[in-house]
A and B are shown apart, each in its own frame.
Chain A
Amino acid sequence: MVLDQDLVRHLSESSVSVELQTEEMTLNIGPQHPSTHGVLRLVARVDGERAFDVQPVIGYMHRGYEKLSEVRTYPQITTLVNRIDWVAGYANEVPFIVAAEKLLGIEVPERAQFIRLILSEMARISSHLIFMASYPLELGAATPLFFALRERERVLDLLEGVTGGRFHPNFNRIGGVKPAYGSGSSTRKVIQDLPAGFLAETRDAMDKVMAAVDELEQLVADNEIILARTKGIGILPTEVAASYGVSGPNLRASGVKFDLRKVEDYLPYHLFDFEIPVGENGDCWDRWHVRLLEIRQSVRIVQQAIDSIPSGPLQAKVPKIIKVPQGETYVRAENPKGEMGYYLVSNGNQGPYRLKIRSASFSNISILPWILEGVLVPDIIAIMGSLDFVLGDVDR
């Protein structure tokens, strides 16, 4: 190790010196690390406890989604795409399918849209509960992890009851949601509509999630140690956030009241009454609190949607082999992590010609070199955790 010989020599030479000459050290945080949400590598130059230059190195999890999409058909890509942000599986499929539907020009039936909305909001609750679980764990408190994951199990059980998969639902089809097993000529079509008891279980689960969110707030929100660790740490000013392309709860915590659910029309959010929580200071505590409030708003949306699901077909009339006509479009959606967009270029085949994925976490962590300048090493962990990114979303 280079450090100790030089430091020892310095210490032995400087007998009575006012300033102790210290050397900087290059500390490699990751890629295998308990707190980096995946395989993120931070090359940090630290001087004692203070880091003055942090560069993230990404790409350890690049799976080549955009290249894979060039040789696959739309149902196959739907399967692949919900592995981008694996914590909120359903939310990744929706904008992709909406993009294909826009090019085709078909209209999705109401019941399918409601089911998509309910499952998207459940994906949001699931993602934010993971954040509630892992962020206090990085700060040192181990108990909120178990409380939050206990509630997330209820949401995942609901998702499994409808779609068959907990993390990778694969429930969207062009024109609606998955209607049935078995194709047109089969004798035994198993309709994949909502199973019996789904509405009652959802109401029950949503009540329990609200109670658990209250309990988590009581356990974590006022805790003096949490406040000392997160208030005033990692302040992200509004202009910087906007200029780096940060989106989602991070942007809202910095004071910008912007939510794509109110702006875009990929799902019928205009039918429901919900608020957008906005933070004041843009520090870590605000980012945590905005996500907590968003869980409550999502629960409100699900409760309203459950009470007013229309009946009807699950998928629009589409031909068996779907060829999307030539054209290009960009659809963006409010994913739990931020803004996710798909730029779809099609040339009339069964699969896209080019699919560009704009993932939320990639833009969110572009802010790391700016925000981590001059902070202490424990604060690096606190700030990184509060940005809530997932490496699958960063690297695709």
Chain B
Amino acid sequence: MTTTTPTKRRVIPGMGMVKGLWVTIYTMFRTIFRPGKYLATINYPKVKETPVPRARGVIALDQEACTVCMLCARNCPDWCIYIEGHKEEQAPSTPGGRVKVRATLDRFDIDYALCMYCGICVEVCPFDALFWSPEYEYSETHMGEMLHDMDRLQDWLETVPPDPELEK
């Protein structure tokens, strides 16, 4: 089947149009009488499709795990992650021991109006603080509300699904 020349086409003039009419009419009857199998659309928002667990909907943050290393903000192609942090001293675990210095987050914002949903930030984070979640219904009426701050990103953590099983 390397060439595209039609070999035996159009024996009866008009058959092409009849074939087209036949396809349309049987699709119509199938959609009316067996919608479960042949209907291609669902009635959003009464019925919603669940996306696959790996779908890139929104990024969730685990604040406890973040060490303010800034790798995600540096590697973002759009530079849409804004991080500010400060160093805190923590009491030593044993009396007389060394004072531990720990970086804590002041501000961690992701601007979803700029975000490209590429996933580089999630991928380069060495401390598993960022996760993908397949939630997609977070549109707003104001551009400014597309900037999700620390607490809102923490809330998305509940929607993160468990890892899907792999093939074989």
Asked if the two chains touch in their complex, CB atoms less than 8 Å apart, one says yes
B1–A277 CB distance below 8 A: yes
Q: How far is the CB of B149 from chain A (nearest CB, A)?
A: 23
On chain A, the residues within 8 Å of B77 by CB distance are: 72, 76-77, 79-80
A195-B166 contact, Cβ under 8 Å, with A170-B118, A219-B19? yes
On chain A, the residues within 8 Å of B126 by CB distance are: 182-186
What per-residue 1/0 map shows which CB atoms of A190-226 lie under 8 Å from chain B? Answer: 1111111111000000000000000100111111111
Q: Count residues of B near A (Cβ-Cβ below 8 Å).
A: 47
Q: How far is the CB of A295 from chain B (nearest CB, A)?
A: 13
On chain A, the residues within 8 Å of B56 by CB distance are: 164-165
B interface majority secondary structure:
loop
B125–A222 CB distance below 8 A: no
A75–B120 CB distance below 8 A: yes
B123–A183 CB distance below 8 A: yes
A193–B4 CB distance below 8 A: no
B20–A220 CB distance below 8 A: yes
B128–A186 CB distance below 8 A: yes
On chain A, the residues within 8 Å of B168 by CB distance are: 311
Q: How far is the CB of B55 from chain A (nearest CB, A)?
A: 6
Q: How far is the CB of A268 from chain B (nearest CB, A)?
A: 20
B75–A275 CB distance below 8 A: no
B125–A183 CB distance below 8 A: yes
On chain B, the residues within 8 Å of A170 by CB distance are: 118-119
Let me know if B139 is at the binding interface, CB within 8 A: no
A79–B20 CB distance below 8 A: no
B123–A181 CB distance below 8 A: yes
What per-residue 1/0 map shows which CB atoms of B104-126 lie under 8 Å from chain A? Answer: 00000000000011111011111
On chain B, the residues within 8 Å of A186 by CB distance are: 125-128
On chain B, the residues within 8 Å of A153 by CB distance are: 40
On chain A, the residues within 8 Å of B166 by CB distance are: 191, 193-196
B52–A188 CB distance below 8 A: no
Let me know if B36 is at the binding interface, CB within 8 A: no
A290 to B3, CA, bound (A): 9
23 intermolecular pairs with C-beta atoms under 8 Å apart: A76-B76, A160-B51, A160-B54, A170-B118, A170-B119, A181-B119, A181-B132, A182-B128, A185-B127, A191-B166, A192-B54, A194-B167, A195-B52, A196-B164, A219-B20, A222-B9, A222-B16, A223-B19, A224-B10, A224-B16, A226-B16, A277-B3, A286-B4
A195-B52, A196-B165 given. 12 additional CB < 8 A pairs?
Answer: A76-B118, A165-B55, A168-B116, A170-B119, A181-B119, A186-B127, A188-B128, A195-B167, A196-B164, A219-B20, A224-B14, A277-B3
